[in-house]
Amino acid sequence: MIKDLSKIVSDTSIIINGQLVAQIESGNIKNSEIIIPQAVLDELQSQASQKKEHGFIGLEVIKKLKDLADKFGLVISIKGSHPTSEDIRMAGSGRIDAIIKDVAKQNQAILYTSDNVQHLVAQAEGLESIFVKPLSKNIDLEFLKFFDSETMSVHLKENMSPMAKKGKPGSFVLTKLSDELLSKEYLQLISSQILETATINDSSTLEISKTGASVVQYNDYRIAITHPPFSEAFEITIVHPIVKLTLDDYDISEELMKRFSDRAEGIIISGPPGSGKSTLASSLADFYYHKGKIVKTFESPRDLQVNPGITQYTKLDGSFDNSADILLLVRPDYTIFDEVRRREDFRTFADLRLTGVGMVGVVHANSPLDAIQRFIGKIELGIIPNVIDTVVFVKDGQIGKIYDLELVVKVPTGMTESDLARPVIEIRNFADNVLEHEIYTFGEENVIVPVSKRTQKVGIEKLAEDKIRDYFKKFDPAVKVEILSENRARVMVNKNSMASIIGKGGSNINEIEKLLKIHIDVVEKTSHSDPSSPLSFTFSESKTALLLNVGREYSSMHADLYVNDNYVTSVRVGKKGEIMIPKRSEASRSIVKLASSQNDIQIFLKDS
Q: What is the pLDDT of residue 244?
A: 78
Indicate whether 354 belongs to any domain: yes
Q: What is the pLDDT of residue 167?
A: 84
Q: What is the pLDDT of residue 110?
A: 92
User: CA dist 376 to 267, 371, 401, 410, 440, Å?
Assistant: 16, 10, 20, 20, 11
Q: What is the pLDDT of residue 454?
A: 47
Indicate whether 1 belongs to any domain: no
Let me know whether 439 and 314 are in one domain: yes
Indicate whether 277 belongs to any domain: yes
Q: What is the pLDDT of residue 37?
A: 92
Let me know whether 154 and 216 are in one domain: yes
Q: What is the pLDDT of residue 205?
A: 83
Q: What is the pLDDT of residue 514?
A: 84
Let me know whether 563 and 487 are in one domain: no
Let me know whether 147 and 51 are in one domain: no
Cα torsion 141, 142, 145, 149: sign:
negative
Quick one: 2 exposed, middle or buried, by C-beta within 10 A (0-12, 13-18, 19+)?
A: middle
Let me know whether 584 and 568 are in one domain: yes
Let me know whether 51 and 171 are in one domain: no
Indicate whether 530 belongs to any domain: no
Q: What is the pLDDT of residue 176?
A: 93
**For residues 560-592, b (16+ Cβ closer than 10 Å) or e, as one string?**
bbbbeeeebbbbbbbeebbbbbbeebbbbebbe
CATH of the domain at 443: 3.40.50.300
Q: What is the pLDDT of residue 455?
A: 42
User: CA dist 168 to 220, 241, 284, 367, Å?
Assistant: 16, 9, 20, 21
The dihedral formed by the CA atoms of 191, 196, 198 and 202, expressed in degrees to the nearest 10: -150
Domain boundary among 474, 499, 524: 524
Indicate whether 137 belongs to any domain: no
Main-chain dihedrals φ then ψ at residue 256, nearest 5 degrees: -70, -40
Domain boundary among 68, 102, 131: 131
What digits encode the pLDDT tens for the residues 191-217? 888 887 876 666 778 888 888 898 998
Q: What is the domain extent for residue 404?
A: 247-450
Let me know whether 183 and 148 are in one domain: yes
CATH of the domain at 496: 3.30.300.20
Indicate whether 153 belongs to any domain: yes
The domain total for the chain is 5
Indicate whether 70 belongs to any domain: yes
Let me know whether 231 and 252 are in one domain: no
DSSP β-ladder status, 358-364 and 334-337: parallel
Let me know whether 279 and 418 are in one domain: yes
**Terminal CA-CA length for the chain:** 92
Helix/strand/coil (H/E/C) assignment for every residue in 362-400: EEECCCHHHHHHCCECCECHHHHHHHCCEEEEEECCEEE
Let me know whether 216 and 163 are in one domain: yes
Q: What is the pLDDT of residue 460?
A: 67
Q: What is the pLDDT of residue 361?
A: 94
Let me know whether 163 and 281 are in one domain: no
Indicate whether 533 belongs to any domain: no
Let me know whether 316 and 431 are in one domain: yes
Distance between CA atoms of residues 101 and 239, nearest Å: 42
Distance between CA atoms of residues 521 and 484, nearest Å: 10
Which residues of the chain carry a pLDDT beneath 70? 1-5, 51, 88-93, 135-139, 169-170, 199-202, 416-418, 452-460, 485-486, 526-533, 607-608
Domain boundary among 71, 101, 131: 131
- Are the CB atoms for 392 and 268 separated by under 8 Å? yes
Q: What is the pLDDT of residue 118?
A: 87
